[in-house]
Amino acid sequence: MLEFRLADIGEGTSEAEVLRWLVAEGQEVAAFQPIVEVQTDKVTTELTAPVAGTVRQIVAREGDVVPVGSVLCVIEDGEARQDEEAKARRRVLASPAARRRAQELGVDIARISGSGPLGRVTLEDVERAAHTGVEGGTEAKTSPEVPSSRDEGLRGEAPPEAVRVPLRGIRRAMRRAMAESHRTIPQALHLDEVDVGELVALRETLNQLLAEEGEHLTFLPFFLKALARALRDHPRLNAHFDAERDELLLFSSVHVGVATDTPEGLLVPVIRQVEQKSMRVLMRELSEKRSRAQAQALTQDDVQGATITVTNHGALGGIWGAPIIPVPQVAIVGFGRIRDEAVVRAGSVVARPVLHFSIAFDHRVLDGGDVLRFSRQFARYLEAPSLLLAELS
């Protein structure tokens, strides 16, 4: 009998929630067949059987949160020894999206050398393998069903007019992350606004040109470039705080987590080295990451390593917001909707497009002066966006 245990499937993973079993007790499974879907604090992934055999006991039930090293199930090994081909195979860490794509392309995922954490196979690895002639691949394709609130069932006693909806998967991870942030960080909030008339006009002009190529530039790439430029002179906001050592970790590159609204909850894919990327590259990468977030196809590597986070509540019509800082970061910037407002120019009241933005910061390591100076420099880049144009192409 083999006890199949939860391994560390990502950087810093300490536990995972069992979302869905893909097999039942008594069912025979093949080696490397996906058998269970789990949710870490950031991504969903499928775990595969290490050997061929029969599932004799499922120990961790759906909805259980189990620490690394816990027994998930017990498998009776059905083969005394493996043939030579099986000896060359290995247990593969890969996201459900990567496995599905490997099956579609006819790629043997066990032969792919993963570039993600702990050798995890990413979507990019699968695409690369397909173009270099890797053959084989018979991974099982599964389509996770999302239960409705009523399918989750009424657990325990509740008023007849109420339906209990357990927080699972991403929403459970959100709940825990937000609670940790409020419990550990003394958060202060700075509110500001900026006249973005020149930015609005510039974006309209650029989109007329980009339309010929079938592309569309949103405001977010401008926001990210202005953010990276301002952080260059105010690096204390582009940092992590190590509370145990009482140290601030300052980063030379800007890796921005972009809070993304999805039907399953908030996901935060990371755009790396923003200071080195053109706005055209940022435009394409933001679109690609958002699409993968909506499809629940982000990998562990996609969502880790952010040095600062942004949230665009203006995309849903919001004007002001009070975002919560992700631990261990020290700041998060929220962008509101751009709207016309009355402002005074040369002694006259005129209508101008105004962006409201907010900065939540960790008051243990930053004070109001730090944030105000950063805010003013960030606003100046948006007031004069031609300063960012050199990096459009």
DSSP 116-163: SGGGPBPHHHHHHHHHTT-----PPP-------HHHH---S---TT--
Task: Kindly tell me the sign of the dihedral angle through the C-alpha atoms of 100, 105, 108, 110.
Answer: negative
**Is residue 363 annotated as part of the catalytic site, yes or no?**
yes
- H/E stretch holding 284: helix 279-294
Cα 241 to Cα 184, 236, 377: the distances in Å are 11, 10, 23
CA distance linking residue 234 with residue 239, whole number of Å: 10
Cβ neighbours of residue 209 under 8 Å, at least 6 residues apart? none
- The answer to whether the CB of 23 falls within 8 A of the CB of 47 is no
How many whole angstroms separate alpha carbon 184 and alpha carbon 188?
13
Rounded to an integer, what is the distance from CA 349 to the centroid of its chain? 43
Marked catalytic residue, from 216, 234, 313, 363: 363
Angle at 270 between CA 322 and CA 224, to 5 degrees: 65
Is the preceding omega at residue 328 within 30 degrees of 0, hence cis? yes
Cβ 2 vs Cβ 50: under 8 Å: yes
- Burial level of 39, CB count in 10 A (0-12/13-18/19+)? buried
The set of catalytic residues is 363
